[in-house]
Structure 1
Amino acid sequence: MTSFPSKLIEDAVSEIAKLPGIGRKSAFRIVLHLLKQETSFTENLTSALTRLRNQIRYCSRCFNISDEEVCSICTSSQRDTSVICVVENFKDLLAVENTGQFRGLYHVLGGLIAPIENITPDKLKIQELIQRVENENISEIILALSASIEGDTTAFYITKQLKHLTHLKITSLARGLPIGSELEYADEITLGRSIQARVAYGI
């Protein structure tokens, strides 16, 4: 599928095909589907995407995706404010939250330390995490990071940065998760049990 009867269709297919997991054939089917819908459907979709891109915010406290300055999790009176679950990204936060086993707060790092990819600690929200732990009444942080070299490197670095806080308990997810797997692909039962059976993280 290399050419289309309309330059407009070709442009739309090219843009949609840039989305992860969508090839040109799938993009073409999506474009044809959109053409069959009422004009209002496409307009509403375009409006929603534009508002998403222009108005989405990140929580100033935990860096979760949010509609407000501080996210609904951080402002909830039903959360345990003494425990912080440290995750790589928003998808991992949702994975943990969907288990229903954790009622504390979160901290989204925005990635993992990966020197080969030029992702150094200063490019992540690690310093902000340290400041939270030092300034708030935090008794435990859970390192809910992927069981990978990058995840272990990041956990090791964070632990070293916080070792001066003798009152702080540092735990990680129980290794019921497969080594090398991504947290977002773990099933909820396995992930929930890993949270409940978390263990002390040691250097």
Structure 2
Amino acid sequence: MIESLNKAFCALPGVGNKTAQRFVYHLLERNREGGMSLAKALVDVMEHVKHCTSCRTLSEKTLCHICASEVRDASQLCVVETPTNIHAIEQSGVYKGKYFVLSGYLSPIDGIGASELGLDELEQKLTNQNIKEIILATNATVEGEVTAHYIASMAKQFDIQITRIAHGIPIGGELEYTDINTIAHALLGRKKYD
């Protein structure tokens, strides 16, 4: 039983055998109540959290709270790779539109194509809804850029403005410690200073 729990913790990203072993022994020796609470929470989440039928994020309801909101701007659609990206954008408090979650990025080597990312669903959304702008918010990786390019190409057949989130130097960042690709993106994506 201990070994199976150890293997279960290893299913988490970044958790190796030693870290999993520490988790298991900590729960068994010092926090059995916490372990029982963790087990119950995991079962509850696994049984009740599904994908939103509109944006594909994780939700306890058929429609997540963002898709169900009447005050969100349904003409803007921000395309992100993961539900955690939505959380990060929402924390900024700036974006007031809706989302579409890919749950990954195009990667033919890994067998992840357009259908695995739900791009057919995205195309139906563009066809059937009054979307005026797609904001491509995929990560600034090779795969993220390829995915953004694919979506932009697909969306060009519709009369929709296609934008890409800016990538560049973070606030508090110093140029001498910034990689050359980030500096190149920052220079290419520069805008007028008011």
Secondary structure of the residue aligned to 2:13 is: coil
Compared CA separation, residues 116 and 23, structure 1 to 2 (3 A): closer
* 1:183 corresponds to: none
Amino acid in the other structure paired with 2:45: L
Query: Aligned pairs, how many?
Result: 174
Compared CA separation, residues 157 and 14, structure 1 to 2 (3 A): closer
**Structure 1, residues 96-148: CA drift from partner, whole Å, max 9, x if none?**
12221111100001211111212111211111111112211111010001112
**Structure 1, residues 143-195: CA drift from partner, whole Å, max 9, x if none?**
001112212221222122221212x10000113269xxxxxxxxxxxxxxx9x
* Structure 1 alignment gaps of length 5 or more: 1-7, 179-193
CA positional deviation for 1:74: 0.5
Amino acid in the other structure paired with 1:33: H
Identical residues among aligned pairs (%): 39
2:191 maps to 1:174 = no
* 2:14 corresponds to: 21
Compared CA separation, residues 27 and 101, structure 1 to 2 (3 A): same
CA positional deviation for 1:38: 5.9
- The whole-number CA distance in structure 2 between the counterparts of 1:110 and 1:198 is 29
After TM superposition, the structure 1 stretch with the greater mean CA deviation from structure 2, 137-146 or 24-33, is 24-33
CA RMSD of aligned residues (A): 2.3
1:121 corresponds to which of 100, 105, 114: 114
Compared CA separation, residues 198 and 45, structure 1 to 2 (3 A): farther
* 2:83 corresponds to: 90
- The whole-number CA distance in structure 2 between the counterparts of 1:38 and 1:91 is 29
* 2:144 corresponds to: 151
